[in-house]
Amino acid sequence: MTSQTVEIPGYVAGTWNLDPIHSHIGFVARHMMVSKVRGRFTTFQAQITTADDPLDSSATATIDLASVDTGNEARDDDLRSSNFFDAATHPAMTYRSSGIRRDGDDFILDGELTIRGVTHSVPLTFEINGFSPDPYGGTRAGFSAHGEINRNDFGITFNAPIPGGVMVSEKIQIEIEAEAVLQDS
């Protein structure tokens, strides 16, 4: 196996906490097989450790499932129920990275996603948006990531048949926009 050197302009090694005000953890699901419904989580914590060698970096996240927001209170309540997230029994979803690799020009963050007590490997394609000083004397970093899961793999199997398909798609797109703040060493 050949080692790869990864050069990233302005790269800063360190430990970063996600800024929840300037970050987005969301999803997209097909509804009635004709449209896409977007949702997000408003409460989460995440930490990113950028290593001296970027391919040795890591990330962890904990998402409060009760904080789901699709812009429709009835739908959000249904998502919190045992039909979907079962947030009363399983209040959090977690992600823990297990490695980073290159795939052509892309970076892939390999990791383990746990929902409803079920854990599966979920790779996320991500990009490094940059590193910059902020006006408060700190340093910020930006990352974008996306991936896809099959919700049935996590025991989220509720659905309703409709003519020509089902009410909610099995495949769910994951969308992340992360702005992180460098922590003092």
Interatomic CA distance for residues 60 and 113, integer angstroms: 10
As for how many domains the chain has, the answer is 1
Q: What pTM did the predictor assign?
A: 0.92
Residue 77 predicted with pLDDT over 60: yes
Structural domain includes residue 130: yes
Please give the DSSP secondary-structure letter assigned to residue 76: H
Structural domain includes residue 21: yes
Residue 143: give its domain's CATH number. 2.40.128.110
Structural domain includes residue 4: no
Structural domain includes residue 99: yes
The parent domain of residue 49 ranges over 14-182
Residue 3 predicted with pLDDT over 90: no
Structural domain includes residue 2: no
